[in-house]
């Protein structure tokens, strides 16, 4: 642990994590300072809100030192969904909330190594197998044509190559819904508050505005299983709007 992490200032910030009014600002300062050591200590507290703040902060820092104690949290049943997601972001692995699989992986792996860069082609291939769909495309841009239970179909696009403001690679998933007619702007945007993931937006296609359903993932946490779920969700939601707007099935 560095001198800065041992400082009175860092300890004061840790104490502020225990107060709801100061938690958010304190967490941001600890992340900015790269205070991995104090955040690791917070994982052992009985205050679940402080543990959550530490888990989220360690995820932002991609702190490989946190892998073993995070697996310990899973084994104790603490914040299992948040902890499993953080483990996936840090390691590039995806064992969900299965603590035994995480422990087995940890036993045979060097958790100190950063996750390998995502292999887009292999990820897309495995995703296609899970969906039962043959993907098309190459390089950074791919497309899936889903057959829906209603008998309709919907194309979903997956794009690798963008980065967030921190420089972390992103994966963008989107599907077209139909022409963006101004009189429908409010109705479509109001749907955003009712859906659990993703959002409706407007994208220019062939020089004309279209409604699209879109979601974005940090590439480090993308696995074929999570990507397949996103594609199914985006496809079904986009098709519902396409049917309402156009009364057609644009194949």
CATH class given for the domain over 120-246: alpha beta
Dump pLDDT digits (tens) for 102-141.
Answer: 988 888 876 555 555 668 888 999 999 999 999 999 888 9
SS3 content of the chain, % helix, strand, coil (to 5): 55, 20, 25
pTM for the full predicted model: 0.59
Q: Domain residue spans in the chain? A: 3-108, 120-246
Write out the two tokens for 120.
């887009």
Backbone angles phi, psi at 75, to 5 degrees: -65, -30
pLDDT digits (tens, 9 = 90+) for 158-192: 999 888 877 778 899 999 988 898 888 888 888 88
Q: By percentage, how much of the chain surpasses pLDDT 70?
A: 92
The pLDDT assigned to 5 comes to 44
Phi, psi of 114 (to 5 degrees): -65, 155
> What is the pLDDT, as a whole number, of residue 134?
94
199 vs 21: CA distance, rounded Å: 30
């Amino acid at each position: 642990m560095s001198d800065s992490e041992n400082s009175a200032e860092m300890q004061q910030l840790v104490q502020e994590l225990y107060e709801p009014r100061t938690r958010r600002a304190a967490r941001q300062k600890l992340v900015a300072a790269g205070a991995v050591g104090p955040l690791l200590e917070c994982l052992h507290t009985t205050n679940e809100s402080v543990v959550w703040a530490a888990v989220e902060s360690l995820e932002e820092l991609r702190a490989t030192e946190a892998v073993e104690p995070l697996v310990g949290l899973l084994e104790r049943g603490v914040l299992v969904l948040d902890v499993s997601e953080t483990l996936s972001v840090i390691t590039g692995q995806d064992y969900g909330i299965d603590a035994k699989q995480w422990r087995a992986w940890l036993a045979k792996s060097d958790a100190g190594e950063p996750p390998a860069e995502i292999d887009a082609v292999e990820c897309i291939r495995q995703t296609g197998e899970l969906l039962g769909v043959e993907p098309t495309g190459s390089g950074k841009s791919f497309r899936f044509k889903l057959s829906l239970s209603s008998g309709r179909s919907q194309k979903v696009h997956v794009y690798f190559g963008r980065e967030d403001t921190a420089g972390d690679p992103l994966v963008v998933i989107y599907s077209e819904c139909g022409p963006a007619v101004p009189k429908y702007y409010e109705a479509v945007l109001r749907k955003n508050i009712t859906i659990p993931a993703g959002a409706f937006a407007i994208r220019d296609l062939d020089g004309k505005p279209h409604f699209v359903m879109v979601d974005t993932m940090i590439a480090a946490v993308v696995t074929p299983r999570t990507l397949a779920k996103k594609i199914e969700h985006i496809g079904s939601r986009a098709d519902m709007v396409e049917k309402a707007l156009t009364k057609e099935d644009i194949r």
